[in-house]
Structure 1
Amino acid sequence: MIQELLESNQFLLLIALLLIISVVVTKFSSRLGVPSLVLFIAVGMIIGSDGLKIVYFDNAEVAQLIGVMALVVILFEGGMQTDWKDIRAVAVPSVALATIGVLLTTAIVAVTAKFIIDLTWLESFLVGSIVGSTDAAAVFAVLKGKNIREKVSSTLEAESGTNDPMAVFLTVTFIQLLAFEDTNVWVAIGSFFWQMGAGALTGVLIGYAASKALNHINLDSSGLYPLFALGFAFLAYSVSSLIESSGLLAVYVSAVVIGNGELAYRYSILRFHEGFGWMAQILMFILLGLFVFPSDVFTGNVMWNGIITALVLIFIARPIAVLSILSFFRFTVKEMLFLSWAGLRGAVPIVLAIFPMLAGIGNSQTIFNIVFFIVLISALFQGSTIMWVAEKFHLVSEKRINPIHSLEVISIGKANVEMLEYEVTEQNQIAGETLEDLSLPDRALINAIIRDGDMITPYGQTIIQPGDTLYILVARKAKKQLKKRLQAEKE
């Protein structure tokens, strides 16, 4: 009993140290210009069986399970932060990249794998399908807080959030073709359309149900609402999986529906999921780092094959897919070249590379090692140079003016009122007006104004200035009217 207690305490100490180290690592990653996911993976490899030998981990089933759960959390957090107004304008090209683009990328990488890695054609297409899609976790992490032009960033986010079904479909199909010779290809193609359609529909339905529940069920504590929302994320994934549709697509769609609707306790929900999303990333990438044996990956043969395949993926396959599709839409050459470079690979390819190992496919360990090395190269070189490329192509815009997600709601206990935090810009109609001339709804009251770091007590003659942060107490029924007044722009 005492020995078991000591072992559990040691395990908790290890978890604590890993969390602290990982959070500190994120600070160094921004200074070094290296994506944090690379450093998280490095931490896992260092403490793993080929490093300091602190943790030995080689359980593919557990790695896959935790990887999928983490992806649900990350996709849900990213979807809630996605503005539908931004992605609606680029929905068609994004979906085209997420489907046709993945097919083109898969085919080109497969040809390379056939002649470079010396795999069979089916095994080569399996490699191509695994690395054919961009990774939502990597893209959301790299783009977060960056002021890349809306059209480009929205396209990349929408593509990465919706291209997982195609990658999963292709991976599973080629595994079935390798494992079962009598697999019906036409049935598999029909399954893909079912996965896309049913997954999207499930996401919409559960998203609307979640929005209604979050806004109308009065819980005892505001801290329960983020957990309530997270429950709907896993509900979307599990329901979709049970009907054999795309669970990850359902999660992303449901999150977009929830995040773009009226949402009580928005501040608590978004902040909780931002932190939980970071924890999911840390856990997932460290675990994947533990699962990798560096002595197997960093060999001459794997590194050579991985480098050649990665170069073809980055400089040939991805650009051909992007240019051949987006040339039919209103994208400039610089925008298309940037989207080509920003097609990051991350957790999804590594998790998908575990599928062949679970299925007992021949050369599965070789495929996993090469995929892992490709992801490292993509994250290290593409991820660390995204902002540099964006600046060179003049695709960095000024900070968004008056973004809708900057409205942070703090609910006050069980009262039917909320506190809005709103930052005034020069384009706002209310800029330059006095408080007595604002014509706010009757059930709205400005409690405080923050100006240049100082708090100002508001009174009738106080003039609202650009840059002011207003804290407004408002009844829920008047919130929509208040937001419309605050966001009105000057003619």
Structure 2
Amino acid sequence: MFADILHTDTFILLTAILLIAGVLTTKFSARLGVPALVLFMMVGMVMGSDVLGIIYFDNASTAQMIGVFALVVILFEGGLQTKWKTLRPVIIPSLSLATVGVLLTSGIVAVAAKLILDLGWLEAILFGAIVGSTDAAAVFAVLKGQNINERIGTTLEAESGSNDPMAVFLTVAMIEMITIPETSIITMIGSFFVQMGLGVLFGFIAGKLAVKALNKINLDSSGLYPIFAIAFALLTYGITAFMNGSGLLAVYVLAIIIGNAEIAYRHSIFRFSEGFAWMMQISMFVILGLLVFPSDLFTWDIIFKGILISAILMLIARPVAVYVSTIKMKFTNKELVFLSWAGLKGAVPIVLATFPLLADIEGSQLIFNVVFFVVLTSCLIQGATVTNLADKLGLTGPKKATPMHSLELVSLGKVNTEMIEYEIDSDSNLVGKTLLDIPFPDGTLVNAIIRNDQLITPTGNTRIKLGDFLYILASKSSKPKLKQILQEKQDQIDEETSNSYQSV
């Protein structure tokens, strides 16, 4: 009994140490020019048995479970942040990169793995499938808060969010072909389309249901709404996977629908999801770092072979896949160069590399070690240079405006109101108007304005300026009318609004 309590206390203490170490590494990552996720893995490797010997961890099954759970949360948060108006123009190239691009990348890497690692053809193709996709966790982490050109950034995020299912399918399919030789390729192809179709269908249905549920339910605490939203993501993954569909794709579709809808406590849901995603990134990469043994990883054989495969992946496979899969899609050569270099590898390949370990595939330990080294190389080299490359290629947009202050609301309980944050764009019809000039619906109140990082207490004569962040307290019933007023553009003023303005 006492031993069990001591074990539990030790686990809680170690978890706290790992999370604190992970959070602190984010503070130094920018100064060191190294993506935070690399430092997360380093924390795990240092804490592991080969270095400090504090934690011994070699359970691939547990690592896989934590990794998949973390990916669900990370994909959900990434989908929430994806704007439909920027996603719609790049759906075709993103899907092409997520399918054709992954196949081409996997094929070229498979040939390299066959020659360099001396694997059988099926095992080599399995290796290619594992490292063929662009990793959502890595891309979201590196691009978050950066001022990368919106079209290119959205293309990368949409590709990375939608190509994980392709990588999972290819990996599982190759393991089946290795362990069950009589497996039919035609059956697998049919299974792929079924999985993707079910993923989109269930994600869409769940997204619509989630939006309705979030807006209709009246919970006692605003803190319950983010948990409710996350629960929908986990439920969507579970049901879709149970029905043999792509759970990860379903979660991403669900998140896009929720993120682009008017939902109750939107601000709370977004902030909670962002924090939870960071926590899962830290946990996942630390666990994956614990899973690898540096004494096995940093041998001259693994280093030499890993560098060769990394070079082929970064300089040949990914560029070929990008240029071929985006033919006639109106990308400039500079944009294609950037898309080629920004094909980051991260947690997904490492999580997928645990699949052959659990299936006891011949050479699975070699595959895992080389995959880990390739991911480490990609994060260190590509992840650390992505932003600088975008700047040199002229693919950086205006600095993303983020308010330095935020209004934190105590729970409103069952009160039918919420705080709405809105940024004033250059083409907004509100620019130059005073608050008295704006026909706000009944039940709304502008509580604060953030301008140039300064808090302004609004009055009726306060004039709206470009870049202002308005914090508006509104009832749920007034939200549709408020949304219409806020989203009016200077060249889209209808007669009804003009008449309403004159009457006020």
User: TM-score range with shorter-chain normalisation?
Assistant: over 0.9
The answer to whether the 8 A contact 1:419-1:474 is kept is yes
The residue correspondences of 1:67-216 to structure 2 (distance < 5 A) are 67-216=67-216
Q: Distance in 2 between matches of 1:75 and 1:288?
A: 18
Which residue number corresponds to residue 269 of structure 1? Answer: 269
Moved more, 478-487 or 64-73: 478-487
Aligned to 1:489: 489
**Alignment of structure 1 residues 249-288 onto 2, 5 Å:** 249-288=249-288
- How much has 1:323 moved relative to structure 2? 0.5
Distance 1:401 1:456, change over 3 A: closer
Could you tell me how far apart the structure 1 residues matched to 2:453 and 2:193 are?
A: 53
> Is the Cα–Cα contact under 8 Å of residues 444 and 478 in structure 2 kept in the other structure?
yes
Task: Indicate the residue corresponding to 2:382 in structure 1.
Answer: 382
Residue 51 (str. 1) matches residue 79 (str. 2): no
Secondary structure, aligned partner of 2:296: helix
Aligned with 2:206: secondary structure?
helix
Quick one: distance in 2 between partners of 1:483 and 1:390? 34
Alignment-derived partner of residue 31 in structure 2: 31
Deviations 1:78-129 (A, max 9, x none): 1111111111111011111111111111110011111111111111111100
Residue matched to 1:60: 60
Indicate how the Cα distance of structure 1 residues 250 and 454 shifts in structure 2: closer, same or farther if over 3 A, else same: closer
Matched residue of 2:343: which SS? coil
Q: Contact 1:102 / 1:163 at 8 angstroms: preserved in 2?
A: yes
The one-letter amino acid paired with 1:143 is: L
For 1:76 and 1:346, the matched residues in 2 are separated by 17
Q: What RMSD over aligned residues (CA atoms) do the two structures have, in Å?
A: 1.9
Letter in 1 for 2:277: G
Alpha-carbon distance between aligned partners in 2 of 1:443 and 1:368, rounded to the nearest angstrom: 59
Partner of 1:307: 307
- In the alignment, structure 1 residue 372 sits paired with structure 2 residue 362: no
Q: Is the alpha carbon distance of 1:373 and 1:451 closer, same or farther for their aligned partners in structure 2, counting shifts above 3 Å? A: closer
* Contact 2:223–2:411 (Cα < 8 Å) also in 1: no
- 1:395-406 map, 5 Å: 395-399=395-399
Amino acid at match of 2:430: I
CA distance in 1, matches of 2:451, 2:70: 40
Q: 1:418 deviation in Å?
A: 1.9
**Contact 2:112–2:309 (Cα < 8 Å) also in 1:** yes
What does the per-residue CA deviation read over 1:340-374, in whole Å, with 9 as the maximum and x for residues that have no partner?
Answer: 00000000000000101111110000010011100
Contact 2:432 2:465 in 1 (8 A): yes
Aligned residue in 2 for 1:471: 471
Q: Deviations over 1:46-77 (max 9, x none)?
A: 01011111111111111111110111111111
1:426 Cα deviation after fit:
4.2
Paired with 1:344 and 1:455, the residues of 2 have a C-alpha distance of: 39
Question: Separation in 1 of the partners of 2:340 and 2:410?
Answer: 40
Secondary structure, counterpart of 1:422 in structure 2: strand
Shift of 1:431: 2.0
Determine if contact 1:101/1:322 at 8 Å carries over to the other structure. Answer: yes
Spell out, residue by residue over 1:171-215, the C-alpha distance to the aligned partner (whole angstroms, 9 max, x if none).
111111111111111111111111111111111111111111111
Q: Which residue of 2 aligns with 1:222?
A: 222
Q: How big is the shift at 1:407?
A: 12
Residue 455 of structure 1: how far off its partner (Å):
4.3
**CA spacing shift, 1:408–1:153, aligned 2, 3 Å:** farther
CA distance in 2, matches of 1:213, 1:88: 25
Query: Aligned letter for 2:66?
Result: I
Give, as a single letter, the amino acid of the residue that structure 2 aligns with 1:479.
K
The 1:402–1:307 alpha-carbon spacing in structure 2 relative to 1, beyond 3 Å, is closer
Aligned residues: 489
| Distance in 2 between residues matched to 1:425 and 1:197, nearest whole Å | 37
Residues 129 and 455 (structure 1), Cα distance of their counterparts in 2 relative to 1, 3 Å cut: closer
For residues 459 and 63 of structure 1, the distance between their equivalents in structure 2, rounded to whole angstroms, comes to 55
2:384 is aligned with what amino acid? S
Q: Whole-Å Cα distance in 1 between the matches of residues 36 and 455 of structure 2?
A: 36
In the TM superposition, residue 411 of structure 1 has moved relative to its aligned partner by 7.1
Which AA in structure 2 matches 1:103?
Answer: L
With normalisation by structure 1, the TM-score equals 0.96
Q: Which residue of 1 aligns with 2:422?
A: 422
Question: What is the rounded CA distance, in whole Å, between the counterparts of 2:234 and 2:128 in structure 1?
Answer: 29
Q: Distance in 2 between matches of 1:484 and 1:31?
A: 43
TM-score (norm 2): 0.93
Structure 1 pair 337/83, CA: closer, same or farther in 2 (3 Å)?
same
Q: Matched residues in 1 for 2:254 and 2:68: separation?
A: 17
Change (3 A) 1:341 1:2: same
Q: Deviations over 1:124-158 (max 9, x none)?
A: 11110000000001001111001111110111011
Q: Distance in 1 between matches of 2:20 and 2:185?
A: 48
User: Structure 2 stretches of 5 or more lacking a match?
Assistant: 492-504
Please name the residue that 2:461 is paired with.
461
Q: Which runs of 5+ in 1 are unaligned?
A: none
**Structure 1 residue 453 displacement after superposition:** 5.0
Identity value in percent: 58
Q: Does the 8 A contact of 1:105 with 1:128 survive in 2? A: yes
Contact 1:265 1:409 survives alignment (8 Å) = no
Specify the code of the residue in structure 2 equivalent to 1:274.
E
